[in-house]
Amino acid sequence: MSQIAISVQDLRKRYGGLAAVDGISFEAGRGEIFGLLGPNGAGKTTTLECLEGIRQPDGGTLQVLGVDPGRQPRKLCSLIGVQLQSGGLPGDMQVAEAMRFFCAYHGVPPRYDLLERLGLGPKLKAQYRQLSTGLQRRLALALAIAHRPPVLILDEPTAGLDVGSRTELHALMQEIRGEGAAVILATHDMAEAEKMADRVAILLRGKIVVTGTPRELTSAGSGFTKVSLRTEESSLARDDVSLPAVHQRLLKEDYVIYYSTDPGPTVAAVLDYVRAHGDKLIDLRVERPSLEERFLEITVGGAS
Amino acid sequence: MTAFLNHFAFEFKTGLRNATLLMMNYLFPLGVYVLLGLVMTPINPLFKDTMLPAMVAFVAMASPLLGLPSPLVEAREAGIYRTYKINGVPALSILVIPVLTTILHTLIASAIVAATAAPLFGAKLPANWTSFVLIALLTAVTFGALGALIGVVSANSRATVLWSQLVFLPSMVIGGLMLPLSMLPKPVFTISTLLPSARAMQAFAGLAYGQETALNPLVSVAVLLATAVLALGLAIYLFNWDRVNQARRGHPLLALLVLLPSVAGIFLG
C-alpha cells in the first residue's frame, strides 16, 4: 500500500445496548479505492460518520492524513470530501448557488466545470428540490470533490443512478484515484465494489469479517466455478457423462452447467468429450464466483 | 468573508423564494397591518396613536417566531447540517445568518409599515425617529434570537409550532399591541411584563413617543437587550448538528433561562 491516508484502529461505537461498531481496524492508502461492504446495520455508515467527524467514537483511534476527525474538525474539512447517504441540501438552494456556497467555505473558486461534466450544466438555476434523485446525488458528488480533497468518502454513491450516470461516476472515481486520492466506498452494490475497489472489507454486526482484494475474497470462498456449454447436438445432455472436478451438473434451457472445483481439467475434458462425440460447440462460458456470491456466503453464514 | 456573503445572500433569497417564508416575512404581517388599519382605525380612533409601534412590533414578531424556527428544525431533520458540518460551515453561521436575514426582512417590512401607516391610516408618527428605529431594530433582534432558540430546542416541527405560538399568541393578546398595558388587570399585567412585545411597546411609548409608560422604558430596553444576548447565546450553546446524534452540551430546558431578564425586569420596573 502507498502512503496511508486513513487509519482506523479498534474503532468502537455503541448506541445504547447495541454495539454498532465493535473494534474494527483497517487502513486505506493514497491512490486506493477501499470498499466497505455489509448488510444493513453492519456498521458501515457509523464507521464513515466517525471518520467524517459527525460522530464521536466510544473507543479506538482514527486518523485521516494524520488528523484526528473528532479533535480537529476544521482541519479535517479541507482533507475530506463526503457524499453522504442521508443529508442533503436546502430545498431552495440552486445548483450553481450550492457550488458557490460550499466552495466559498472551502476557500476555493467554484468548480462549474464539474457541474457541466456531471450533466448539471443545464440545471444551474434549478433548485435542489426540483432535481431528480440521480441529479441530487450527482450534485452531492460534485460538491464533495470540488475542493480536490485527498480523501473522498462515498456512501452508496450510485444508489438511484441510471446506467449512464453510474458509468460516468465510476470513471470519475477512477480519475480521482489516479490523482492520488484515497477513496472509501461504502456500497451494497457488489458488482460496483468488485469493479471499482482495490480492496474491500466485509462488515457484519459491527465487525470486519474479511478483508482483501475482490479476487482474494472470491478465490478464498468455497464457491465453485460455473462452466456453461451449449452444443449443436446436445451431446452433453446425457446423464452418463462423467467429468473431472465437477461438483454439480444442471440443465438450463439449451445449456449444460457444471459447477467445478477445478475448472481447467473440467473444461479440457468437456471439450474432448464434445469433439469425441462429433458434436460442435456453440457457446462456452467460464464464470468464477462473484463477489456477491462470496458476500452472501460470508454474511448468511456469519448470520446463522 | 466571501463565505459569509454567499451564505447571507442565499438565506436572504430563501426568505423570498420559499413560499412559507415569504408569507411569514411579508404577506402575513403586512396583510394583518392593512386589515387592522382598515378595521380598527374607524372603530377605535385611539388605535391610531399606537398603530405604528404596534404594527412594527407585530412584524418583528411574526417573521422570527412563525417563520424562522421551522426551517431550522427541518434542516436538522433532513440532515442538511451534516452536509454543512462536513464542509466546514460553522454552527455560528448556521444560526446567526438566518437570524440576520430574518431581521433584514423584518426591517424592510417595518419600513413599509412606517412609510405608509400615516398616509394610509392616519397613524401617529414618533417624536423621536432615532429611538424608534433603534427600538425597532432591538425588537427584531430579540425576536430573531428567540426564534433561533425555539428552532434549536424544538424536537420536531410540531414542537416548533407549539413553542412559537406559546410566545406569539400571548404577545398578540396581552403584549400591549392591541390594548395598552395599563388597561390590563393586575395579574395579567404582571404576566404581560414577561413578554418581549410588552417591553418593546413600553420602550416605543417612552423613548420614541415621549409618553407616560407603565414600565420604565430604559429597563425595557435593557430587558430586550439581555433577552436577545441570552437567547442567542443559549441557541449557540444548545445547537445540535443532527437529529440522530443526540450528544448535546445541555438539556433543552436550559432554554428557559432566557426568561431571566424578564423576571428580573418585574422587580426593576
Contacts of B25 in chain A (CB under 8 A): none
Of B3, B80, B247, the CB nearest to A104: B3
| Residue extents of the structural domains in chain A | 4-219, 224-288
Going by the DSSP 8-state scheme, the letter that residue B87 receives in this structure is T
Number of domains making up chain B? 1
Average pLDDT, chain A: 87
pLDDT band of residue A86 (cuts 50, 70, 90) is: low
pLDDT tens digits, A185-212 = 998 888 888 888 999 998 988 999 889 8
Test A80 with B86 for CB contact under 8 angstroms: yes
pLDDT tens digits, A96-120 = 999 999 999 999 999 999 999 888 9
| CB neighbour burial string for B84-119, b if at least 16 within 10 angstroms, e if fewer | bbbbbbbbebbbbbbbbbbbbbbbebbebbbebbee
Q: DSSP letters of A260-292?
A: ESSHHHHHHHHHHHHHHTT--EEEEEEEPPPHH
Q: What is the ipTM of this complex?
A: 0.84
Test A90 with B88 for CB contact under 8 angstroms: no
pLDDT tens digits, A252-302 = 888 998 888 888 889 999 899 999 888 999 999 888 777 777 777 777 655
Grid cell 474491500 is found at A200
Test A97 with B10 for CB contact under 8 angstroms: yes
Contacts of B85 in chain A (CB under 8 A): 53-54, 73
Q: If you average pLDDT over residues B61-89, what whole number do you get? A: 90
pLDDT tens digits, A11-65 = 999 988 888 899 999 999 999 999 999 888 889 989 998 999 888 899 999 999 9
Angle ∠(A204,A52,B145) on CA atoms, nearest 5: 125
Going by the DSSP 8-state scheme, the letter that residue B215 receives in this structure is S
Residue from A105, A137, A184 whose CB has the most chain B CBs within 10 Å, to mutate = A105
Given CB atoms, is B138 within the 8 Å cutoff of chain A? no
Fold annotation for A4-219: Rossmann fold (3.40.50)
CA atoms of A211 and A214, how far apart (whole Å):
9
The distance of Cα B244 from the centroid of its chain, to the nearest Å, equals: 29
Fold annotation for A224-288: Alpha-Beta Plaits (3.30.70)
Q: How far is CA B256 from CA A124, B65, B138, B165, B262, in A?
A: 44, 16, 20, 16, 11
pLDDT tens digits, B140-170 = 999 999 999 999 998 888 888 899 999 999 9
pLDDT of residue A1: 58
Q: Which domain holds residue B47?
A: 2-268
Q: Which three cell numbers stand for residue A217?
A: 475474497
Grid cell 422604558 is found at B217
Q: Give percent above pLDDT 90 in chain B.
A: 65
Test B18 with A92 for CB contact under 8 angstroms: yes
